[in-house]
Structure 1
Amino acid sequence: MSLPPPAGPGPKYAAAESEILDRRHGPYGEVALRRQGGRLQIIANGCFLMDTSDGRSERLLVRAARTELLRVGPPARAPRLLIGGLGVGFSLIEAAAEPSWGRISVVEREEAVIDWHRSGPLGSLSARALADPRTELLHADLLDQLRGRARPLPDGGYDALCLDIDNGPDWTVTEGNDALYSPAGLAACAAALAPGGVLAVWSARPSPNFEEAMRNSGFSGVRTEEVAVVRGVPDAVHLAVKPA
């Protein structure tokens, strides 16, 4: 996810006509898929969440988690990955392009987003990744899955959790999403991870307070990687390891 530039990267962006392709009302409010120029955008409760224009930071989320897992010491089996949030699909696409991952589980609570990938416009991006036999798409709330309420956790836990929920820890636009970034949410992440597993969290901006919260929750090796954007503060990926 990323915040849109105030006026777009240029006059063409600002002048592009927009079209609502679908709009749904669900338990978490309104979610819409919009086309503007050549981009597809997801809008939640009237607030821009993400689009198909870039995806560098969403891809980094998965790539950095794998690099950190290799540094710590990968498990003997193929590592199991859980991606929190399907979005426009960039994180899943990055994961499916890497043959070393084992099971790739993606949790998405918005049924509309799943539909837009399975039978809608976003399928042009994600169809191959969704068809990968390692991919498992779960329609559930992420915290429910972390606690094993949606589907039982794999034996021994996940080896990497890549979370791309809302706009990250400092600003959530959907009620309830901030619970994921609370001490209880971080405890659920730790419980779902295998010893030595990696937690990677996407954020619309670097968050020193969230880094401290990760340390206070018992994670080690906390660090942040940044991705420059056209305007404003950079996107960030916060990384941490569950001690073995």
Structure 2
Amino acid sequence: MVPWELIDTATVPGGGGEMRLMRRGHEFIIWLGPIALMGSRAGQSEEVLARLGCAGAAGAAAPRVLIGGLGMGFTLRETLKLLGPGAAVTVAELVPAVVAWARGPLAAVHAGSLDDPRVAIHEGDVGALIRRAAAGGAAPRYDAVLLDVDNGPDGLTRQGNDALYTARGLDAAFAALRPGGTLAVWASEPDERFTARLKRAGFAVDVATPRAHGKRGIRHVVWVARRGS
């Protein structure tokens, strides 16, 4: 069997620990301590995140989409397939090394998606962009916000991510969306308390459980929270 090879490491800002990019042949995995955050062979549920989250935006002439977390780029690539040439997609990635990996050892996995003229990369906290849009002014609101910044609404990789999933954070996400817009959130496991918080924030909520890979892979969770028109 081909052994795993360490390609690079990166520190998550805010005391989030160390990420390790590993390769075995053509397969890649990003680890955080003992937890496998993402792999290049298991992005099916992230593609579902994009399809469900962008279902309403796909019909707009110039939709604006915010993606929290670049990862292996599954969500971004699927979003670009769904949207037309007038779209504007911002990807917020907190860890600069993840962007560097996308342009370096993971370039084949990302398949040129970062060079798409519709894409802008923001190296920083997605929560700051959400709050900016929620405050109004010059910051435009979004047709869809897709969040895949953790293994769920519990701030696993960085304690600061907890703020995205609190009542206050969800109120900001609601305000950051245009009427009819969608907040979609990926997680590794169900969380009924988070579903309840979404509803209290004013969203109409559906919960999907797509598989990570193929027809027998483990199931993940995607919350689809819609702001009324």
TM-score computed with the length of structure 2 as normaliser: 0.87
Name structure 2 gaps, 5 residues minimum.
none
Answer yes or no: is the 8 Å Cα contact 1:83–1:92 preserved in 2. yes
Count, aligned residues:
221
Question: Please, which moves more after superposition, 104-113 or 202-211?
Answer: 202-211
State the partner residue of 1:50: 38
Contact 2:147–2:184, Cα closer than 8 Å, also in 1:
yes
Return the offset for 1:164. 0.5
TM-score by length of 1: 0.82
- Partner Cα distance (2:4, 2:161) in 1: 28
Q: Residue 109 in 1 paired to residue 97 in 2?
A: no
Instruction: Work out whether residues 169 and 178 of structure 1, in 8 Å CA contact, stay in contact via their aligned partners in 2.
Output: yes
C-alpha distance in 1 between matches for 2:181 and 2:138: 13
Q: 2:119 aligns with which of 127, 135, 139?
A: 135
Could you tell me which residue of structure 1 aligns to residue 187 of structure 2? 203
Q: Does 1:157 align with 2:170?
A: no
Cα deviation code 1:71-119 (max 9, x no counterpart): xxx55x321111100001101111122342610110000011011012x
Q: 1:54 and 1:123 mapped to 2: Cα distance?
A: 17
CA distance in structure 2 between the aligned counterparts of 1:45 and 1:148, rounded to whole angstroms: 32
Q: Mapping of 1:21-36 within 5 angstroms?
A: 21-27=7-13, 28-36=16-24
1:180-229 per-residue CA deviation (whole Å, 9 max, x = no partner) reads 11112212211211111111111112322221110011112x10111135
Kindly indicate whether residue 206 of structure 2 is the aligned counterpart of residue 223 of structure 1: yes
User: Match for 1:109: what amino acid?
Assistant: L
Instruction: Output aligned runs, 1:80-99, within 5 Å.
Output: 80-99=64-83
1:121 is aligned, of 105, 121, 134, to 105
CA separation of 1:211 and 1:26: change in aligned 2, threshold 3 A = closer
Give the percent of matched residue pairs that are identical in Structure 1 and Structure 2: 37
Structure 1 alignment gaps of length 5 or more: 1-14
Counterparts in 2 of 1:56-75, with a 5 A limit? 56-69=44-57, 75=60
- 1:178 lines up with 2:162 in the alignment: yes
- C-alpha distance 130-153 of structure 1, shift in aligned 2 (>3 A): farther
Q: Secondary structure at the match of 2:23?
A: strand
The question of whether the paired residues in 2 share the 8 Å contact of 1:160 and 1:197 is answered with yes
Aligned equivalents of 1:46 and 1:192: distance in 2? 35
Q: Which amino acid in the other structure matches residue 128 of structure 2?
A: D
Counterpart code for 1:139: E
- Look up the match of 1:236: 221
